[in-house]
Structure 1
Amino acid sequence: MRYTLLILLFSLGSGVLFAQRATVSGLVAADDGSPLPGATIGVSGSSLGAFSDADGSYSLTLDPGTYTLQVTFIGYANATEEITVSAGQALTLNFTLTEGFELNEVVVSGSRQPERITESPATIETIFSREILEYAGNPAELVARQKGVDYFRAGLAAPAFNIRGFNSNFNAKNLQVTDGRFSTLVATGLPFGPLNTTIKEDIEQVELILGPNSTLYGPNAHNGLLNTITKDPRQYQGTTFTLNPGVTGDGDAFFSARIRHAQVLSDKLAFKVTGEYTTGTEFEWADSVFIDRVGAVDTLGNPIPDGQAEGYEELELDRDVEFLRGEFALHYDPSDKLNFKLAGGMSNSTYLSPTNVGRNQIKDWQVGYLQLKASGNHWFAQAYYTSSKTDSTYSIDDRTKQYYRLLDAGFSDAEARGPLSYASGALFQDASNRLNTEFQYYNTFGQLKVVGGVQYQLDRANSRGTYLLDENEDDFIEVSQLGAYAHLTYDFGGGWRGLAAARADNHEIYDFNFVPKLGLLKIGEMGTWRLTYGQGIAAPTILNMFGNLFGGLILGNAEGFTLADGSMVEKQRVEKISTFELGYRGQLKKSKLFLDANAYYNISRDFLSPVTVVGVTTERGDTPIEEVQAAFGTFGGLVATYINFGEVNTFGADFNLTYYFQPELSAYVNYSYFDYSVDEDNTEENDFNGDGVVNFLDILVNAPTHKVGAGLNYSGDKWFGSLFGRWVQEYDYFSSFQIASRSYPDLVYRGRPIIEDARSADSYNYGPLGGFVTFDASVGYRFSDRVTLSLAANNLFNTELREFTASAPTRGLYTLEFRVNLPPRRAK
């Protein structure tokens, strides 16, 4: 690090070097003269480029030579210009774009290299910076507008999504990536979600891949991938202040204030810093916790029969929401062939989070990262460190139960609310970290494009003995994995392109896995057809492998178990999926109508089950269970854990039609279909609950069959706005103790009949999810290039919606956003 700083200081004083490069700058405007902010100015055949500012201006620095510049902007035809620049030259070059409807967005998630979205070998949904900034609400809400996505407002602070079925309240099958680094928690594998460190104003682009993409991103890019790309300070300069007050449909206020500053110090050095403070109050709602009490009395003082369950509200529920987050990045470019980036971020979060066993009270959970990246013309290398820390997060469900157990045992109310209320395992602490490194090489050899790389990951999980099989803050559970990938595309000519990709991983616990992908693309003048076959894997998380919850009642399954009858429970394996997909994206007969459609067929094997009781055990691996299970005196070796089971085929289709009335105004409609089939005669593999019958209670698809969304977008020079509506079909949902289902009085789940609006296991069944229509709307006005005011309404009519289990029914969210953009200070 010392030498890096010396290099930076030296280059700051090297004005002679600065003069060797040329500067190209100008304006990008429509044919009516109005500026086009956010247009892409790219250098063909390289990753160099820039984006136009709010006034349409751009600037980029190049070494002497000849280049072809290409300018793209959605709704307009591309413009190209060949230029030759000499050392020290300052060239002014303006672009005027005419109306046209090419699909010219550039994405990187499909092959980890820039490519036109129509030529990507994956189904990719995109959300761009302009859409994000013109929407006054949480940018996560824009995910709900994409086809093929199940979106949930799990309260004010915890939006979530799922892709192509098999959702749960602890879903680690959708990988979250930010600027090339995994944004997932170390121990649970869950996406950061609300714990993320990136602010809205610093997001350049969000890319959402539907289906597996494990060849490039590794395990757990299984159902899908959310890739967030932040803004380069060299291309997005200046200072932005945003004030974001709002109110919920309950009448509770929330507020967010954010700042971003980016500055180019020279033609080699630039930096950015961001910050956010958000506070609010979660929707008013308390879940029911059912407790089998002994020697207790009801509120009237009458004895409660021993073993009878009573429903109680969550104990000492704290509805306060608070987020503090920020990031920095320093970019140093010795030349246009060599770039360095040092970035870091931190967040501190407090909110309510739904889980399989009720809600967790997230208290001051801190996430941080430090990333160093270097790149050249044909390679990049990175190393990054991720940390996670919390001291006082706890399970509300378990603490509530322990409180009433203590009262029944004769403790006072004050004693029952004190430290003893966490004694049964309610407290979750975390002091985990992860180290990732990666090297990638990419090049073109004639018609062959090659992308290859190696990745290493070392997870070091520590729960301070609260929820993992570690003992104290010095006892880390370490799991390493090494992976290598290759991604080859060959241009056969005539618009035909072939893809062959593969990945090999060696996991410390799960050994070797090989994942292939094949594809064929037919690229036409108006669009592209693609046919692909790919595999994906979902590796068990550290919680799955080494969990230790509630006194050892729930234990991880990295070593397998021996049951009291001598039979074995095998250790977990990776879950596998194979996907066949046919898709098309492009214009329809040179009209203003665009189609983006896909149909897919999945074969899933060896499901990673939700936590399930396997019976009385005598050993975990080779260790006697009494040495592992802390509450062996209570449970006597009874264990719940995670297992593999079954094979199921899922299939579906996603359609999007978009019509551009003019570049500023468009309308669209989405439709998604999802269903499954299973061999009901194969009880040996598919009868997960062991009742002798294979049905939906074994498979737990947890997804609606039909979804429809439709919207209208307008983005003019001054006014902008949108209207969006979605319909989600009613569907049943099961996630461990959490049930949201219609009544099936002849069926049993976790020992109880399935009855709507009644007790279910230790929670309450409020009825199916979905079955609603909801509308969102937004409107805004640009007073100038510097000042913007906008409004957004999620759930416009304040309808009470049940979108997720263990979370409040959501109502309206109404947000005002006031943003000021200050122009950059140009380097002299």
Structure 2
Amino acid sequence: MASRILLILLLSTQALWAVAQSGGIRGRVTDGSGQALTGVNVTLPGRNMGTATASDGTFTLSGISPGTHTVRFSMVGYQLPDRTVTVGEDVADLGTVTMSDASVMAGEVVVSASRRPEKLTEAPATISVINSRQISELPSFNVGELLARQKGVDYIRTGVLGTGLNVRGFNSAFNPKNLQMNDARLSTLIATGLPLGPLSSVVKEDIERVEVILGPSAALYGPNAHNGLVNTLSKDPRTSAGTTAALGVGNQSVFSARFRHAQILNSKFAFKVTGEYTKGMDFPYVDTVYYNNTAFAKAATPTTPAVPPKFHAAEELELDRSFKSLHGEAALYYSLTDKADVILSYGGNNSSYVAQTNAGRNQIKDWQVHYLHARYVSPHVFAQLYHTWSMTDKTYAINQRTQNYLSFKDAGFSEEEARRRSYSEQWFGQNQDAGIALKRGALFRDDSRRINGELQYNNEFKGFAVVLGTQYQRDIADSKHTYLFDQNGAIVINQIGAYGQVERAFGSGFKAIVAARADQHDRYGFNFIPKAALVWTKNDQSVRLTYGRGIAAPTILNLDGYLFGGLLIGNGEGYTLSDGTVIEKLKVETINSFETGYKGKLSEKFFVDANAYYNVSENFLSPAINIATQGRKVVKRGDTPISQVIPGTPDAGAAVLLTYVNFGKVNTYGADLGLNYYLTKTVGLALNYSWFGYELDKKDLRNDGNKDGKVVAEIDLPINTPAHKMSLAVNYSGKKFFGSVFTRWVQEYDFFSGINVAAEANPELGIKENARYGRTWNYGPLGGFVNVDLSAGYRINTYLTASAQVSNVFDSEVREFVASPFIGRLYSAELKVMLPAMGK
């Protein structure tokens, strides 16, 4: 026994001596201004060794065997070529290493494709990046404008305030299929699943970068990362300490005041706080309003024809085109160790504006969204818990309220009573003595909450890079029975998901990625979501083949909506018609996407990003459609008689009921091309082009979206995407001056979304331009324009920057979305003050 103990001690001593004799690598990492960079990943490629820089930018890698080694530095938004270092018995000191802004995209580090840092060229997806320099040089409060400059993105502008995006077809005025996130937190409304948009609490000056992924990302991010992902990452106060204040003005009465302050308190604590107040007046536009099976429409421009006499013409009741938003965030960073942080943050927003939907426009009144967020971040473990809540008491559907008001006025009721009852009732009858008031609620209330939790682990094991995680979400939706089926209390839905990804590097630059996710939802059940990719990389160039599956999950509104007194009800239970026909309850919409792509730096000045894809989509989630057709009535919702669901409905059933259904199968395909060429270090050219097409079996009645017995692509499976679009930008960014000339062309295309129609004349479908179609007014197709934007700025000194922008320089008649105004010329100017960190 004694000899065994002695042998063990001897071997242990030899092992410790060997470690002591092994060398190491140390250094300090800063940015271009000399400020320490915290959290830079320092790794030895091909070996399971790595660390992250401390708060002062220093790092040490120990236990390295003697020899020549490659050291890789990676951090989001920065780039640095790999370093080669010779290690002996002592520690090799690299001294101060400076990372530069990632302006040449091949060296840029991204995190969204694999939920871990990797070089842009090595990512298994098409990614567009909007970096902090581009954001800081934008003379506008609205960062969404930069989405127009990204390849493969269908950018839309609905007014001065509203911007949005879609990817690869099937857009609508109520589109939750592009997942949007801020700092790993869902940036979506609870009941509808829609992106927060103007309800976001993020302030422009606090955005480090925005990463836009084209194609499904559901395997790692879950439902509704269906055909795209937008991931916004905020700045770390330890690498961006200081104070920024900005004032912006523009036409349409735009005024914006913003600030950001970030400070390092000591080696452990740092914090940041931001705030913004923005207001303005949107362009004039009057939407169509429906009243007792008649309609009215008023032209948005003098060039459109007069309203026909048979229309009931009136202004939208109390339409308020002004918009305003007050929002901000605060965050506290605590360095638990040199490699682990705890981050606590809060954000809130209170906004008012006009919003588009596929059932008419809504007057958003003092809608608030808040969140509390806790994160633990370390090189191998990420954990978060956050609570989101949404509140409004005054928001209403403009068209329904106007219909209600007109019904009472035409029956002889007083102005005061007509306005008072317009929020909740509609009058059916010729006068006050011969008629009945039915519930047709126009008011939307919201007191909803959502709780999310996530735990993720990532590491490398003998050449394998592994990411494992689990997520939990609990939605508590409460509309006070104004737009949801929640008369018995809040609707509570739980979902849990587990995901994993394994990446294996092979020789000659090849690597394979396999990922999968399993989701269980209280209402739509279990779903399995796979993903696979093969990537070859060499000398900042890569070729990839990918497969990904995405799902668009029914929202709470789709499942349990209850609008306008039961005229529109969600389909979470299924329906039975009077002839025995069963309308099945909703299930998820799916897409299977196959993509090939190339990304690479052909020279030090020329970067190319190209892809081609083929998608197979099934079980589309329809807009609200009437299922009581061909003389059939709706007699049951699930097992409940419809007379108990909609009070006052005859036992024979409802003659009209709008709901959502699954339908359709279609194949889509296309390609995206992005070219970036740097004439000099300060002048660059960016060209983006996208093509989109589809094939549809018109004999397959599964594609009959409106249930009229025939398949017409334009109205049954609306693609709502231009076949061709292209943009060209010339950008200049010097030490003092900066500016850009941006030109965008969008091919003309038809757009159908619920009641909204924007299409060219079609005699077969009875569509006329600048005329009524169905329940809406058709101003003609979208797109068909060339738009030019100009911007310029000057850094007066270290602290002060002035800039200005003109969008739509030639004042073209640009209409980018249904139920939206024609967007004219927009001017904006901005003055920004930037003060250095205290004590610097």
Kindly provide the amino acid, as one letter, of the partner of residue 517 in structure 2.
Answer: R
- For residue 215 of structure 1, the aligned residue among 219, 225, 230 is 219
- For residue 657 of structure 1, the aligned residue among 658, 672, 675 is 675
Kindly provide the amino acid, as one letter, of the partner of residue 790 in structure 1.
Answer: S
* Local SS of the residue matching 2:107: coil
Residue of structure 2 in register with 1:788 after alignment: 801
Residues in 2 aligned to 1:657 and 1:271: alpha-carbon distance in whole angstroms: 39
Residue of structure 2 in register with 1:7 after alignment: none
Alignment of structure 1 residues 42-441 onto 2, 5 Å: 42-45=40-43, 48=52, 59-60=56-57, 62=59, 70=73, 78=81, 80=83, 93=96, 95=98, 103-137=106-140, 138-247=142-251, 252-292=252-292, 309-423=311-425, 424-441=440-457
Contact 1:41 1:70 in 2 (8 A): no
Determine whether 1:458 maps to 2:474: yes
* Local SS of the residue matching 2:479: coil
User: CA offset at residue 395 of structure 1?
Assistant: 0.6
User: CA offset at residue 594 of structure 1?
Assistant: 1.5
- For residue 667 of structure 1, the aligned residue among 668, 672, 685 is 685
With 100-109 and 71-80 compared, the bigger mean Cα shift is at 71-80
User: CA offset at residue 510 of structure 1?
Assistant: 1.0
Instruction: Decide whether aligned partners of structure 1 residues 447 and 73 sit closer, same or farther in structure 2, where only a CA change above 3 A counts.
Output: closer
User: CA offset at residue 756 of structure 1?
Assistant: 1.2
Residues in 1 aligned to 2:95 and 2:830: alpha-carbon distance in whole angstroms: 35
With 417-426 and 591-600 compared, the bigger mean Cα shift is at 417-426
Instruction: Decide whether aligned partners of structure 1 residues 327 and 624 sit closer, same or farther in structure 2, where only a CA change above 3 A counts.
Output: same
Listed as ranges, the gaps of 5+ residues in structure 2 are 1-24, 44-49, 65-70, 88-92, 299-308, 426-439
Residues in 2 aligned to 1:808 and 1:512: alpha-carbon distance in whole angstroms: 42
* Local SS of the residue matching 1:161: strand
Kindly provide the amino acid, as one letter, of the partner of residue 283 in structure 2.
Answer: F
Residues in 2 aligned to 1:393 and 1:350: alpha-carbon distance in whole angstroms: 9
Contact 2:622 2:705 in 1 (8 A): no
For these two proteins, the number of residue pairs brought into alignment is 768
Residue of structure 1 in register with 2:826 after alignment: 813
* Local SS of the residue matching 1:494: helix
Contact 1:681 1:694 in 2 (8 A): no
User: CA offset at residue 409 of structure 1?
Assistant: 1.9
Residues in 2 aligned to 1:418 and 1:783: alpha-carbon distance in whole angstroms: 56
User: Could you give the per-residue CA deviations for residues 187-213 of structure 1, whole angstroms, max 9, x where no partner exists?
Assistant: 000000110000000000100010100
- For residue 538 of structure 1, the aligned residue among 546, 552, 572 is 552
Determine whether 1:761 maps to 2:774: yes
Instruction: Decide whether aligned partners of structure 1 residues 658 and 284 sit closer, same or farther in structure 2, where only a CA change above 3 A counts.
Output: same
- For residue 624 of structure 1, the aligned residue among 632, 641, 666 is 641
* Local SS of the residue matching 1:571: coil
User: CA offset at residue 357 of structure 1?
Assistant: 2.0
Contact 2:616 2:665 in 1 (8 A): yes
* Local SS of the residue matching 1:313: coil
Residue of structure 1 in register with 2:90 after alignment: none
Kindly provide the amino acid, as one letter, of the partner of residue 286 in structure 1.
Answer: V
User: CA offset at residue 723 of structure 1?
Assistant: 0.9
Report percent identity of matched pairs.
47
Contact 2:29 2:36 in 1 (8 A): no
User: CA offset at residue 41 of structure 1?
Assistant: 8.5
Residue of structure 1 in register with 2:10 after alignment: none
Instruction: Decide whether aligned partners of structure 1 residues 47 and 133 sit closer, same or farther in structure 2, where only a CA change above 3 A counts.
Output: farther
User: CA offset at residue 368 of structure 1?
Assistant: 0.4
User: Could you give the per-residue CA deviations for residues 680-717 of structure 1, whole angstroms, max 9, x where no partner exists?
Assistant: 22124546432323433211111100001000111111
Listed as ranges, the gaps of 5+ residues in structure 1 are 1-21, 30-34, 51-57, 85-89, 299-306, 748-752
- For residue 587 of structure 1, the aligned residue among 592, 601, 612 is 601
Instruction: Decide whether aligned partners of structure 1 residues 60 and 40 sit closer, same or farther in structure 2, where only a CA change above 3 A counts.
Output: closer
Residues in 1 aligned to 2:393 and 2:77: alpha-carbon distance in whole angstroms: 47
User: Could you give the per-residue CA deviations for residues 103-156 of structure 1, whole angstroms, max 9, x where no partner exists?
Assistant: 111111000101111100111100001100001122110000011111111011
User: Could you give the per-residue CA deviations for residues 560-615 of structure 1, whole angstroms, max 9, x where no partner exists?
Assistant: 00111121100001000000000011122x35221100000000011111111101
User: CA offset at residue 418 of structure 1?
Assistant: 2.3
Contact 1:75 1:663 in 2 (8 A): no
Which TM-score applies when normalising by structure 2?
Answer: 0.87
Instruction: Decide whether aligned partners of structure 1 residues 775 and 577 sit closer, same or farther in structure 2, where only a CA change above 3 A counts.
Output: same
Instruction: Decide whether aligned partners of structure 1 residues 518 and 148 sit closer, same or farther in structure 2, where only a CA change above 3 A counts.
Output: same
User: CA offset at residue 215 of structure 1?
Assistant: 0.4
Contact 2:494 2:521 in 1 (8 A): yes
* Local SS of the residue matching 1:130: helix
* Local SS of the residue matching 1:754: coil
User: CA offset at residue 824 of structure 1?
Assistant: 0.6
User: Could you give the per-residue CA deviations for residues 607-638 of structure 1, whole angstroms, max 9, x where no partner exists?
Assistant: 11111110121111111111112463698352
- For residue 691 of structure 1, the aligned residue among 703, 709, 712 is 709
Instruction: Decide whether aligned partners of structure 1 residues 98 and 335 sit closer, same or farther in structure 2, where only a CA change above 3 A counts.
Output: closer
User: CA offset at residue 800 of structure 1?
Assistant: 2.3
Residues in 2 aligned to 1:480 and 1:287: alpha-carbon distance in whole angstroms: 37
Task: Give the aligned CA root-mean-square deviation in angstroms.
Answer: 2.9
* Local SS of the residue matching 2:565: coil
Residues in 2 aligned to 1:118 and 1:285: alpha-carbon distance in whole angstroms: 45
User: CA offset at residue 294 of structure 1?
Assistant: 9.0
Kindly provide the amino acid, as one letter, of the partner of residue 654 in structure 1.
Answer: D
Instruction: Decide whether aligned partners of structure 1 residues 142 and 275 sit closer, same or farther in structure 2, where only a CA change above 3 A counts.
Output: same
* Local SS of the residue matching 1:673: strand
Kindly provide the amino acid, as one letter, of the partner of residue 490 in structure 1.
Answer: R
- For residue 712 of structure 1, the aligned residue among 730, 745, 750 is 730
* Local SS of the residue matching 1:330: strand
Residues in 1 aligned to 2:220 and 2:679: alpha-carbon distance in whole angstroms: 38
Residues in 2 aligned to 1:278 and 1:83: alpha-carbon distance in whole angstroms: 55
Determine whether 1:776 maps to 2:789: yes
* Local SS of the residue matching 1:601: strand
Kindly provide the amino acid, as one letter, of the partner of residue 405 in structure 1.
Answer: S
Contact 1:243 1:257 in 2 (8 A): yes
Residue of structure 2 in register with 1:470 after alignment: 486
Residues in 1 aligned to 2:759 and 2:188: alpha-carbon distance in whole angstroms: 30
With 478-487 and 404-413 compared, the bigger mean Cα shift is at 404-413
Contact 1:551 1:631 in 2 (8 A): no
Residue of structure 2 in register with 1:304 after alignment: none
* Local SS of the residue matching 1:710: strand
Larger-gyration structure (1/2): 2
User: Could you give the per-residue CA deviations for residues 511-564 of structure 1, whole angstroms, max 9, x where no partner exists?
Assistant: 110010111001011411010011000110000000001110110000100111
